[in-house]
Copies of this chain bind each other. A is one copy, B any other.
Amino acid sequence: MADGERIRSGAELVDPGSILVHPTRDELPDLPIFNGVEEPLVETLLASSSTRQYRAGGLIVRQGEQAPDLHVVLRGIVDLTLLSRKSECGVLLLSSKDLLLPATTLFHEPALVSARALTNTKILLLTGGAVEAALNRSTAFAANLMKPMSGQWRMAVRNILDLNCRSAAQRVAAFLLRIADLQPDTPAPVLPIAKRHLAVRLGITAETLSRMLQTVADHGLYLRGRTIVIRDRAAIEEFCGPDPYPQKDERILDVFAL
């Protein structure tokens, strides 16, 4: 019954067998938040931590509630959106190594938006208490949290600028270009999420996205299935219009958001 509910309501946790209760450092990828932090402190943090898996569509944090634990995305794509009846309104997509609504956890504020897994997703949870304790002890750890917070602020500002100064087609083009550039080693860059979620992220309707993809295709970039094909780089960059600092410098702020 309860199980049936779960599945019908969009599927939250999956596969309890793979959940780690006290992950050790070598069970985790190298996370920027631990850079330069004294090893014993890292151990303490991990001792209070656990991991969780969500399947595509699962709600991770509900808007209006607060997350007592610090969430770190280990795998998958998470979107931050305001879910209201009738319309969704996207703010940001998070991916591996990103912090998920850190401010909510650190300052006990109700989340303004919901966090939702768009793909199967694995999350690391550090308990609020342990994080707070670590923050009181380690300036390195504090700096490691400030960096991604800055980076996410930057992403938010970019988003605001895009919404105001760029057309729908330009936003689509710029986003796909960015996605492609973030996968430099792969031969064929791929769009990791469904189109309708992309539309939400870009603040347009699915119908408009569909039409804009055609426009964009005329300017040198198109989708074949989920793979992104850049036919004419110069043209498409030109088309994107003003992107003041196109270098993906959010990564040096430990932000991997999209």
CB-based contact B153/A142 at 8 Å: no
Contacts A107-B147, A147-B107 given; does A160 touch B159 at CB 8 Å = yes
CB-nearest residue of chain B to A134 = B139
CB closest residue in chain B, given A110: B245
Number of copies: 2
Residue A61 at the chain B interface, CB threshold 8 Å: no
Mark A157-182 against chain B: 1 for CB-CB distance below 8 A, else 0.
11111011100000000000000000
Q: A244 — which chain B residues lie within 8 A by C-beta?
A: 63-64, 82, 112
Set of chain B residues within 8 Å of A113, measured between Cβ atoms: 157, 161
| A63 cross-chain contacts in B, Cβ below 8 A | 244
Most buried by B among A80, A135, A143, A147: A143
Q: Are A245 and B64 in contact, CB atoms less than 8 angstroms apart? A: yes
Chain B residues with CB below 8 A from A102, complex form: 150
Number of interface residues of A (CB under 8 A): 49
> Are A146 and B149 neighbours in the complex by a CB distance under 8 Å?
yes
What chain B residues lie within 8 Å of A152 (beta carbons)? 153
Contacts A82-B244, A242-B84, A244-B64 given; indicate if A154 touches B112 (C-beta within 8 A).
yes
Question: Given A143-B142, A160-B159, A106 and B150 touching (CB < 8 A)?
Answer: yes
Are the CB atoms of B103 and A161 closer together than 8 Å? no
Say yes or no: is A18 at the interface (Cβ < 8 Å to chain B): no
* Top-6 shortest CB links A-B: A103-B150, A142-B142, A156-B156, A89-B164, A164-B203, A89-B165
